[in-house]
Amino acid sequence: MTSQATTPPRWARRRASWTRLGATLETFVARFPAQERLLADPVQLAHGYQRAEDAEVAALVAASLAFGRAAALVAKARSALAPFGPRLAERVAELREGEVPPHLRAWAHRWVSGEDLSRMLAGIGAVLRRHCSLGAAFRLGLPACSEDDLLPAMRSFFEALAPDGRTRQEMGTRYLLSVPDGKAASKRACLFLRWMIRPADGVDLGLWTDIGAHRLTIPLDTHVARIGSYVGLTDRTTPGWLMAREITRNLARFDAADPTRYDFALAHLGIMGSCPRKRDARRCASCDLLPACRL
């Protein structure tokens, strides 16, 4: 009888759990200063450009190639972009459909060929000629969006990169220009938007801050999905758009204006192999997230 009387109701236990998780996430995020994050983030490529329109193009290419080891994809993206020079947007806007720049003829990143990337760049060039910047093109889709979801604008933006569908015929190009459909997590598209929309913090660029970081969706990779499940950010078992939105909404409990600022810390824990798939007393003991972990 006494035991029942002193046990907090379920809603109180859940609220205490969220409070504990919020505190542990803040501790964890504080461990990763901007300089350290930038060294492990492909957005470092965009930081090398002075003009916003050039940084936008570099960021979109880097995000689209963000699969595989970070060091390898950064090197490949840099080798693809550097020959265009510092005025990247202008050079890309000069490309025409079917044109493959000489330095991309033997270029490849895993299953993406230089021809695939050239088709994507030609699509970016066409958008730049019509709208002058990628930011202007993306904003055209905002009226169709709700206050907390950018999916319609994401869909129309990526469709604009290949309006007639012809540049999507090859597998590599189709992968680069994958259109968010509300089913897949669209991790690379969300990553690009995080770089553009979050306020500049030494990593994210803050070029489109008028859109609002509260509207972003976390870039969901296998690490964020797994660790998000461990700490109670999602009860879903299948990675996809619904899981990404659920994790984002729960992160908004701790920072409603900027829920995706927790992205790097969650992903980094998995990338570094610090988080085991089964509880390991020795390895788990030093984890800041241990008090909130359900593993």
* 23 contacts: CB under 8 Å, gap ≥ 6: none
Specify if 135 maps to a domain: yes
Specify if 9 maps to a domain: no
Residue spans of the chain under pLDDT 50:
1-3, 11
Express each pLDDT in 41-50 by its tens digit.
899 999 999 9
Q: How far is it, in rounded angstroms, from Cα 70 to Cα 59?
A: 14
Specify if 8 maps to a domain: no
**For the packed helices 187-197 and 52-64, what is the interaxial angle rounded to 10 degrees?**
160
Q: How far is it, in rounded angstroms, from Cα 166 to Cα 284?
A: 50
Distances 245 to 15, 239, 271 between C-alpha atoms, Å: 20, 10, 21
Q: How far is it, in rounded angstroms, from Cα 214 to Cα 238?
A: 24
Specify if 184 maps to a domain: yes
Specify if 246 maps to a domain: yes
Q: Could you list the residue range(s) of the whole structural domain that residue 58 is in?
A: 14-292
Q: How far apart are the first and last CA of the chain?
A: 31
Say if strands 112-113 and 108-109 run parallel, antiparallel, or are unpaired. Answer: antiparallel
Specify if 6 maps to a domain: no
What is the model's pLDDT at position 11?
46
- Rg of the chain, C-alpha, whole Å: 21
* Domain tally, the chain: 1
What is the model's pLDDT at position 15?
59
What is the model's pLDDT at position 16?
58
What is the model's pLDDT at position 8?
52
Express each pLDDT in 79-129 by its tens digit.
999 999 999 999 999 998 889 999 999 999 988 999 999 999 999 999 999
Which residue bears the tokens 């930081």? 47
Distances 23 to 45, 143, 268, 283, 288 between C-alpha atoms, Å: 33, 36, 18, 21, 10
What is the model's pLDDT at position 164?
63
Specify if 4 maps to a domain: no
Specify if 211 maps to a domain: yes
